[in-house]
A = this chain, B = another copy of it.
């Protein structure tokens, strides 16, 4: 039935996710193979070097993608937010380890069935391609951060990125844009360190420095308030010594 409704119609991330600009037919087919799944914080979603069983869209929560060296040193190589897609198509094994950073709700697609759909519907593949290009852009931006920014710039950049992606932001939109932001950090200090290539201690010290400079305020350990996003943006590019 061309006009029939699907669970997708009510989906919170429908318009932003890969499902965003698909035809009615494509949505119906995707909906048929979709299964919702809850994963609690700390649980593994994909193990590296293993054939993944499913692909997924994130409906709620944050997922971290990590790589590890033989001696245990870890690096987060990607953070995935609601509407992001998880899984590497056309690869036999996942190049990274995916773990729920917070409690997560996924919309999963069985591997074989999804890859078959991909082959049949260039539209779905095209959306996924665009998403992958965005991920590549983000990865390259992060390479600049990891290779060339100081600890304080790294932490400021991280906070700025979270502020921008947490658009559930309590935002007082002022006359020209939004200057104020309040959000919860989806990561522990250890995770932030693994994302920025720093130690826990250095992350903590830089946070207190930003606090003492008045660029951020903290409510508890997880909630961050940014009175003036421009100040944070400045701190993200220019080292404040």
User: Is A52 an interface position by the 8 A CB rule?
Assistant: no
* Chain A: interface size category: 35 or more
Q: How many copies does the complex hold?
A: 2
Query: What is the interface of chain A mostly: helix, strand, loop, or mixed?
Result: helix
Whether the Cβ atoms of A143 and B144 lie closer than 8 Å is: no
Q: Which residues of chain A in 69-102 are interfacial with respect to chain B, using CB atoms and an 8 Å cutoff?
A: 69-71, 73-75, 77-78, 88-91, 95-96
Residue from B122, B136, B141 in contact with A135 in the complex, judged by beta carbons closer than 8 Å: B136
A227 CA / B222 CA spacing, docked (Å): 52
Q: Which residues of chain A in 178-237 are interfacial with respect to chain B, using CB atoms and an 8 Å cutoff?
A: 194, 196-197, 237
Residue from B65, B74, B77, B148 in contact with A75 in the complex, judged by beta carbons closer than 8 Å: B148
Could you list which residues of chain A lie within 8 angstroms of chain B, going by C-beta atoms?
65, 67, 69-71, 73-75, 77-78, 88-91, 95-96, 122, 125-126, 128-130, 132-133, 135-137, 139-144, 146-149, 194, 196-197, 237-238
